[in-house]
Structure 1
């Protein structure tokens, strides 16, 4: 049997619990708030998108970037759950001339139809197996170790199309004013990243927010 004193203590406990839950909900609402200038920024000049009537998402990245490697699981999971009106592509960034082989590696694998299967393996090799992959020979040897014909890969890697795409990617990064990676650009104008939003999880939340905003604005 509950006494009056016990009833008062129980009522007080319930009241305190209510305040805690209310405060927690309020705090959660505050932390989930997404603001321009804090969680994402808008490019001063919007860039044209390749697919009309779609949500275009570009990840600017570099194979050798530890932050890109760290963000990859969350980003890949996000991409996998997107509907058909979301178009995602990666653009390799070479901030220095000696990083250009990595951009060529990316486009060579893409040209051979092996990009999706190999990109994570490249990053694992660099960040877990300590493979530098900075020269053509290092890259070709590693690619061959993955069961890809070395000569076929080298012919693709050296091709005019692949070299041109690597150079164009560098110019595109300049156009988008990319000064760090990973960086996400949506619809040619909205820019976010873990360094801008603060965390990987918040970046994904911002991407979801921007995706809905782009649809609401009729893909503008």
Structure 2
């Protein structure tokens, strides 16, 4: 057994305490600093949220966007660890008229109850199998290859409801001032993305920060 003198015990305690402070400072330094204007921005005109008492998260995306495809694993992992007060929805963005078929594809699959099962497959087909899916026939042929009835899909794809939702999504993107994808908007006012935050990991950290802020602010 080693017995330390009182003075040595005092010095040892001070050293341990100093080391603890050093590790604490290191942990603080490693935590990413999140700042408005750098890591996220606030919409000048807040948009209405669909549900009160919830943290609303919207991903504006485009099937053909490689950055959206690249961000999906991190976003899906983030969603899996969220509490029940977090709501999430995707909104397709058509920056050009020739992208509108992708928005119609999204809402047609959603209307058929196949959105959750098919969205990742659409993106995989486009980014890994080089499927362009830019025309109605290309889209219908591919959907049929996935075991979905072609005629049923086309009837849904061409329906007034689906076309209206695709047009409304474009208007919504304008109202939210979306100028690139993927973009995350939380509570109708806080905007971030991997490009705004700098990296995918930082964007996820910003989303965690904003989620906590929204709860502290009583879902405002």
TM above 0.5, yes or no, is: yes
Mapped partners of 1:20, 1:142: distance in 2: 58
Q: Does residue 1:106 correspond to 2:106, yes or no?
A: yes
Deviations 1:148-200 (A, max 9, x none): 00000000000000000000000000000000000000000000000000110
Mapped partners of 2:81, 2:97: distance in 1: 36
Residue 12 of structure 2 is matched in structure 1 by none
Residue 64 of structure 1 is matched in structure 2 by 64
Deviations 1:130-161 (A, max 9, x none): 00000000000000000000000000000000
Three-state SS of the structure 1 residue aligned to 2:94 is: coil
Matches within 5 A, 1:1-220: 24-25=26-27, 27-29=29-31, 32-220=32-220
Three-state SS of the structure 1 residue aligned to 2:177 is: coil
Residue 11 of structure 2 is matched in structure 1 by none
Mapped partners of 1:36, 1:75: distance in 2: 21
Tell me whether 208-217 or 19-28 shows the greater mean CA deviation: 19-28
Mapped partners of 2:80, 2:194: distance in 1: 19
Report how many residues are paired.
Answer: 205
Three-state SS of the structure 2 residue aligned to 1:36 is: coil
Unaligned runs of 5+ in 1: 1-13
- Give the structure-2-normalised TM-score: 0.89
Structure 1 position 81, deviation (Å): 1.4
- Give the structure-1-normalised TM-score: 0.89
Deviations 1:54-82 (A, max 9, x none): 11000000000000000000001111211
Three-state SS of the structure 2 residue aligned to 1:191 is: strand
RMSD: 1.9
Deviating beyond 6 angstroms after TM superposition, the runs of 4 or more aligned structure 1 residues are none
Structure 1 position 83, deviation (Å): 1.3
Distance 1:137 1:189, change over 3 A: same
Three-state SS of the structure 2 residue aligned to 1:46 is: coil
Mapped partners of 1:77, 1:25: distance in 2: 24
